Structures are given as C-alpha cells and as structure tokens.
C-alpha cells in the first residue's frame, strides 16, 4: 500500500502550532493558579522574574489605553487578517522551503494563544520579566523629569513564538536577498 506522504510544510504546521499553543496555555494556566496578579517571584535575582501581569494592549502594551470598544475589535480584526494572510502565503510555499513554514507556524500558534486569552480573560497573561536590577534611566526632557526602568516588558510563550518567527522571517528575507544579489 502506497500512502501519500505528508508534505513537510504540513508536518511542521501540525507539529509546531499545537505544541506551542499547548505550552503557552499550560504555562499561563500555571501562572493563573500559582501567582497572584501583580506578584513578582525572583528566579535570577536582579535579572529574571516570574510575574503575573495582564496586558490589555498589544506588544509592549501598545493600545492598552485605547477604549475597549476600539481595542477589542481591532485586535480580533488584526488576528483574522494575519491568519488569512498566513494561510494564503503558506499554501503557496514551495516544498523546498524549510524556514518559512516554521516561522508561519510559530506566528499562528502565538496568535491563537493570545487570542484565546483575550476571548476568555479579556487580556493576555504575561509572566516572563527580564530587567537589570532596579537600574533606570533618569533624565529631564523638555522640562519633564523621566524615570525609565531598565526592564523589558513582561511577555509569554505566545509572544516568544511570534518574536522568534519574526527573526526567522527577517533571516529568510536577508538570506534570499543575498542569494538573488549574488553576495
């Protein structure tokens, strides 16, 4: 019996999306159950903490101050457009392409994890926090005193998947440019 072997792209999609999605949701569930909202648990003191924050905005809290009536439909619309675009491009990927299916799968998993949070919690659970102790930049700008802690905004597994995917996409574009440019 000769079976039709599954294409590499489909294997990647069917492996990465559920794996990353489940890891994202399990880690968020653990945070919801074990860490009080707003708490910070040092893992590597002065550098890395497990936290429990909620993000009603996008990356780095963008749009978190926007009115709910704009913010919620906007995030769902962006997710739908991204999923449709990825599906369109994914279907047209050549079988020899190995990097883009991974990147697209990571983005889909990340979108799914954060959208599920928004649907059921109204915000995204963030729990990984990196910082440089209590260090901050203190300065005056146009007469206003500024205090900016040297801390990366808290994030989660879904955010990490999307970030890694963006790195892979950039690498793929640069690699393709070099290939075509002969550099």
> Annotated active-site positions, please?
126, 159
Nearest Cα residue to 136 out of 151, 144, 148: 148
**Could you tell me the two tokens for 182?**
């002969």
User: Which position has the token pair 């900016």?
Assistant: 148
CA distance linking residue 159 with residue 118, whole number of Å = 14
Name the phi and psi angles at 131, rounded to 5.
-155, 165
Q: Are 135 and 150 in contact (CB under 8 A)?
A: yes
Q: How many other CB atoms are found less than 10 A from the CB of residue 180?
A: 8
List of long-range contacts for 39-43, beta carbons under 8 Å, 24+ apart: 40/129
Dist. CA 5–CA 139, nearest whole Å: 61
């Amino acid at each position: 019996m000769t079976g039709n072997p599954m294409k590499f792209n489909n294997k990647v999609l069917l492996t990465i999306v559920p794996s990353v999605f489940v890891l994202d949701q399990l880690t968020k569930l653990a945070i919801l159950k074990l860490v009080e909202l707003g708490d910070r648990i040092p893992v590597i003191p002065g550098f890395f903490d497990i936290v429990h924050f909620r993000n009603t905005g996008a990356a780095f809290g963008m749009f978190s101050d926007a009115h709910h009536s704009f913010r919620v439909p906007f995030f769902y619309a962006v997710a739908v457009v991204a999923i449709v675009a990825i599906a369109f491009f994914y279907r047209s990927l050549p079988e020899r392409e190995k990097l883009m299916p991974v990147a697209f799968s990571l983005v889909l998993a990340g979108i799914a994890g954060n959208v599920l949070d928004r649907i059921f919690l109204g915000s995204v659970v963030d729990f990984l926090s990196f910082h440089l102790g209590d260090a901050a930049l203190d300065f005056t700008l146009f007469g206003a005193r500024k205090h900016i802690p040297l801390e990366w905004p808290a994030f989660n597994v879904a955010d990490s998947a999307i970030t890694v995917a963006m790195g892979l996409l950039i690498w793929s574009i640069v690699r393709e440019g070099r290939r075509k440019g002969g550099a």
